[in-house]
Chain A
């Protein structure tokens, strides 16, 4: 049982390049999330999804896009990378089951630098 898997772990992009951060989970969780973590700023929600085919914006969606074609996968796309997108990106998932399980399971993160 792998949990939430993110790839790549590290990436350096040049300004204006594009890339996709991959996220997959094998726990059959309906809810999935993308957060970015800037130093000392905590986590900010970029996009989230409540099920396959359904996505919605979080606090900081500008410059990003997502899709959710399957329950397992929730890729995050950066179309025109900017230095302000230098951050650590975390994918997470959550069950819709009993309330006691409402905590998230996080991936180990992707550290992205835009130069």
Chain B
């Protein structure tokens, strides 16, 4: 079955690194995504990783994928107050008609000055 789990809340000081974790259950996932949702707005794609990769770096963002443990993480370096938002991980499966994504419940990140 498809299930994506995330912790609900993360508090971090400005300038520190944030690590947001996600676990998924479907081993046939092809792409895994991180989305950011700011207050009152829709979800915005931050980054994605293909399932045959272990790591992807994009400026301040580092995505790590452990396929054996079905664990995905997003590290934000030098966290800024503008990074305060809800972060969602999502998975897609090649077998899913219409490129459907399954989303986790979201992690609310609060950056304190």
Q: Which residues of A contact B (CB under 8 A)?
A: 4, 31, 33, 35, 40-43, 45, 48-50, 56, 58, 90, 92, 94, 96, 99, 102-109
Contact = CB atoms under 8 A, between A and B. Distances in A.
Interface of B: 4, 8, 31, 33, 40-45, 48, 50, 88, 92, 97-101, 103-106
Contacts of B4: 42
B88 A42 contact: yes
Contacts of A33: 98, 100
Given A56-B98, A102-B92, A103-B48, A42 B104 contact: yes
Nearest to A9: B40
17 contacts: A31-B98, A33-B98, A40-B8, A42-B103, A42-B105, A42-B106, A43-B43, A48-B100, A56-B97, A99-B50, A102-B92, A104-B101, A106-B42, A106-B44, A108-B40, A108-B42, A109-B41
A106 B43 CA distance: 6
Contacts, number: 57
A41 B50 CA distance: 25
Given A40-B8, A90-B42, A109-B41, A102 B105 contact: no
